[in-house]
Amino acid sequence: MAQMQILQPYQRQIWCDVLTRCGWFDVYHLPEYYLAVRTVDEGTALLLVYEEDPYIAALPILIRGLGSIPELNADHWYDASSAYGYPGLLTNCRPEAPGAEAFRNNWQKALQHALKSLRTVALFVRQHPLHPTEWMWQGIATVKPLGQTVVLDLHLTEAEQLQMIRHDHRSDIKKGTKRGITIVEDQHLNRMHEFQKLYELTMQAVNAEPYYFFPRSYYDDLRRHLNGRIKLFFAVHEGRSIAGSLFFHCGSVLQYHLSGADPTLGRERAMATKMIIDTVRRWGTANGFRWLHLGGGLGARQDSLFQFKAGFSHLRCDYSVVNYIVEPEVYNELVRRRFGNDAALSTANGWFPAYRSPSVKKAA
């Protein structure tokens, strides 16, 4: 059995060569992405690579020390997590391929060995809805389906795409155009901080968690490290930007990453964002992209955000996360230190790893 190779973002060429050999990847797998999110996602970025010719598997993770949680008293232990987005497991092996089961079993053994060598207690992975590799986790971890995401197939004809857009969305796009709303692209990303203000106004309006209020440095780092993979559009009405959306593009995929609009506006706000998405839909089609992935609702729920996105397409992808307890005895002890003997409290909100849950009860 081969050993797991561990790469860091500064090994950019080797990292990117691995992604290419996996046959498919998205922006969330790039080494530049991990340089860009350093200010918002805790941990050291690594790419875990396993190869058994002709198959290869790659998993980007963030290794996080547990010393920052005083109750745990676990300075020498770590856990691992995906970064924000969809940086799930990649592989060029399909479940029906010859030798797939042996490859999966050997990859699992190598993964476990690598994580144990890194003193990793648990691993949390956000899978990519467009690249389902859940089968690789069978037998070693818990795959937890969270819901669905919305995707547009840009290889459909214009008529077929328009047919998938809900009537009220098409109507709002037409009304917005008649009201004089125009869509402009910030090609050089000079207005990132203007976009930040619109985004934060939206987050305040929906009482978003503090995590989603990214610092100014995050936007600067996006521009610095992912400049060639970002599309930033604004909706302008009467000389004022009333909405903005930031998209990533990589390979065949466009990702709807962040969006914001002036919450003091009425119908114009919804019209503006719909017009931006429609503009990017047409741009992506013209430039040969296959997918425009809009994502799902908050926490993958079928909420108003999901319904808004669902108005652009009937197509859905399944979204799952992976919970893997690498060191069960250590994990259980850390949960006990954080919550005492009340195991029900530690798992009630579904948080993983449970000892990182924001709900705290002092140990008995």
Q: Domain boundaries in the chain? A: 5-140, 149-318
Positive or negative torsion for Cα 304, 88, 126, 203: negative
Report residue 303: phi and psi, to 5°: -100, -165
What was the pLDDT predicted at 2?
80
- For 5-140, CATH gives 3.40.630
Per-residue pLDDT tens listing for the chain (364 residues): 688 999 999 999 999 999 999 999 999 999 999 999 998 999 999 999 999 999 999 999 999 999 988 889 999 999 999 999 999 999 999 999 999 999 999 999 999 999 999 999 999 999 999 999 999 999 999 999 999 999 999 999 999 999 999 999 999 999 999 999 999 999 999 999 999 999 999 999 888 888 889 999 999 999 999 999 999 999 999 999 999 999 999 999 999 999 999 998 878 888 999 999 999 999 999 999 999 999 987 765 677 889 999 999 999 999 999 999 999 999 999 999 988 877 655 565 688 999 998 865 544 4
Q: Is this structure's pTM higher than 0.85? A: yes
Same fold, 5-140 and 149-318: yes
CB 312 within 8 A of CB 165: yes
Tell me, what amino acid is at 151? V
**Phi, psi (deg, nearest 5) at residue 171:** -65, -45
CA distance 233 to 189: 9
Dist. CA 241–CA 196, nearest whole Å: 12
d(CA 90, CA 87): 9
Topology of the domain comprising 149-318: Aminopeptidase (3.40.630)
pLDDT score recorded for residue 260:
96
For residue 344, what pLDDT is reported? Answer: 56
Q: Is the peptide bond prior to 353 cis by the omega test (within 30 degrees of 0)?
A: yes
pLDDT of residue 86: 97
CA distances, 137 to each of 324, 351, 363 (Å) = 9, 19, 33
Could you give the maximum distance between any two Cα atoms of the chain, in Å?
Answer: 65
Q: Choose among 24, 22, 14, 27: nearest CA to 51.
A: 22
Question: Tell me, what's the pLDDT at 345?
Answer: 58
pLDDT at 346: 57
Whole-angstrom Cα distance, residue 148 to residue 129? 8
Contact by Cβ (8 Å): 91, 22: yes
